């Protein structure tokens, strides 16, 4: 064999070995899709059923043996959480009743996978402890802080309507909770529409007065969501999540003081404020009955009528097929 042919043969053998080794290495590594399937990313807020579930650590005990790792991602409010869900940054999350209306109107691929029990006493319109405002009617022309698109948005609209005012009669100041609290503390706004535990913290820390809560105005349910793609591939995992949420709700009903301690530590808030919020909270997971869907549809229709969303939507189109009760 000539030196040239010998060199060519050796090169061919070495190149073949490189491909073989590369193939073996690739075969030992899980592909990106497999890695993605083994990670469940859950968005959560400072308060609610998902926060309690996270604090208890029971979901991991169910999913870890199946090869899944749970990643918890915090959010200041529902609109931000659902934006992350829409972009695929998380797989599952929870919000109040209003954020999914804005998200669906914007074309989000979210699906409702569960509904919580009503909690109307956990959101309110607050005024300063020295405020002369005593009635909702007196908010006309006033600056009112709220997180745009959050659960309190609908509550504010209906509260004004009940008082004979239009949304255009106030000056809405759109701020996330932390910024809204700062503005409220400085008296830069006249009122603040907010939910627990920020609501209870404002009462404890700032002496804020409740002008009106949502009792008799809106149900203020908590809802649970997944991306459409995740719901189609992970039905069993969603069933486990909902089952653990139900168990956490049952545990909460019997261990409110312990729940307050767990949440206070987890969210870095004074236990006195958290305990106050806990005492007016109620948790439970319900199947999507037609009445719940109609309640959400009413919010969607209201927002379209007053121009807060650009098009009419059908809430039932975003309900997980397994989650609705005929």
Domain 32-118+221-318 has CATH 3.90.1150.10: no
DSSP 321: T
Which positions ≥6 away from 123 have C-beta within 8 Å? 96, 151, 152, 155, 193, 194, 195, 196, 199, 213, 214, 220
Residue 195 · residue 201 · CB < 8 Å: no
Query: Which range (32-46, 76-90, 301-315) has the least confidence?
Result: 32-46
What is the spatial distance between Cα 142 and Cα 153, in angstroms, rounded to a whole number? 16
Q: What is the mean pLDDT of residues 2-12?
A: 39
Fold equal for 32-118+221-318 and 121-213:
yes
Q: What is the mean pLDDT of residues 16-41?
A: 47
Angle at 61 between CA 57 and CA 65, to 5 degrees: 150
What is the spatial distance between Cα 84 and Cα 207, in angstroms, rounded to a whole number? 34
Every domain of the chain and the residues it spans: 32-118+221-318, 121-213
Q: What is the mean pLDDT of residues 147-151?
A: 90
Q: What pTM was computed for the model? A: 0.80
Confidence of residue 322 (pLDDT cuts 50, 70, 90): confident
Cα separations in angstroms, 214 against 124, 154, 193, 200: 6, 10, 10, 14
For the chain, what is the mean pLDDT? 86
Whether 27 has a pLDDT exceeding 50, the answer reads: no
Confidence of residue 49 (pLDDT cuts 50, 70, 90): confident
pLDDT, one tens digit per residue, over 51-105 is 889 989 999 999 999 999 999 999 988 999 999 999 999 999 999 999 999 999 9
Residue 115 has what pLDDT?
Answer: 94
Give the residue, 46 or 23, on which the prediction is more confident.
Answer: 46
What is the spatial distance between Cα 21 and Cα 186, in angstroms, rounded to a whole number? 66
Name the helix (H) or strand (E) containing 296.
helix 290-305
CATH number (3.90.550.10, 3.40.50.300, 3.30.1330.90, 3.40.190.10) of 121-213 reads 3.40.190.10
Cis peptide before 297 (omega within 30 of 0): no
Q: How far is CA 17 from the centre of its chain?
A: 52
């Amino acid at each position: 064999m000539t030196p040239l042919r010998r060199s060519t043969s050796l090169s061919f053998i070495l190149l073949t070995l490189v491909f073989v080794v590369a193939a073996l290495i690739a075969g030992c590594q899980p592909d990106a899709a497999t890695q993605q399937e083994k990670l469940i990313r859950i968005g959560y807020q400072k308060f609610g059923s998902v926060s309690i579930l996270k604090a208890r650590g029971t979901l991991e005990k169910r999913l870890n043996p199946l090869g899944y790792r749970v990643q918890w991602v915090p959010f200041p409010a529902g609109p931000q959480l659902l934006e992350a869900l829409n972009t695929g940054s998380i797989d599952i999350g929870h919000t109040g009743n209003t954020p999914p209306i804005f998200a669906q109107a914007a074309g989000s691929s979210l699906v409702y996978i569960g509904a919580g029990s009503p909690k109307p006493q956990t959101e309110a319109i607050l005024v300063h402890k020295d405020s002369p405002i005593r009635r909702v009617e007196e908010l006309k022309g006033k600056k009112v802080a709220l997180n745009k698109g959050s659960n309190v948005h609908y509550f504010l609209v209906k509260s004004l309507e009940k008082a004979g005012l239009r949304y255009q009669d106030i000056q809405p100041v759109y701020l996330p909770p932390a910024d809204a609290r700062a503005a409220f503390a400085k008296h830069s706004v006249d009122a603040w529409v907010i939910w627990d535990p920020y609501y209870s913290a404002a009462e404890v820390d700032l002496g804020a007065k409740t002008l009106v809560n949502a009792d008799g105005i809106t149900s203020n349910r908590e809802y649970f969501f997944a991306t459409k793609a995740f719901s189609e591939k992970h039905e069993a995992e969603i069933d486990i999540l909902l089952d653990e949420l139900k168990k956490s709700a049952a545990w909460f009903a019997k261990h409110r003081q312990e729940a307050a301690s767990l949440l206070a530590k987890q969210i870095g808030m004074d236990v006195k404020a958290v305990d106050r919020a806990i005492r007016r909270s109620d948790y439970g997971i319900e199947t999507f009955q037609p009445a719940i869907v109609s309640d959400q549809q009413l919010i969607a229709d209201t927002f379209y009528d007053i121009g807060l969303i650009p098009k009419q939507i059908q809430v039932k189109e975003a309900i997980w097929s397994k989650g609705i009760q005929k």
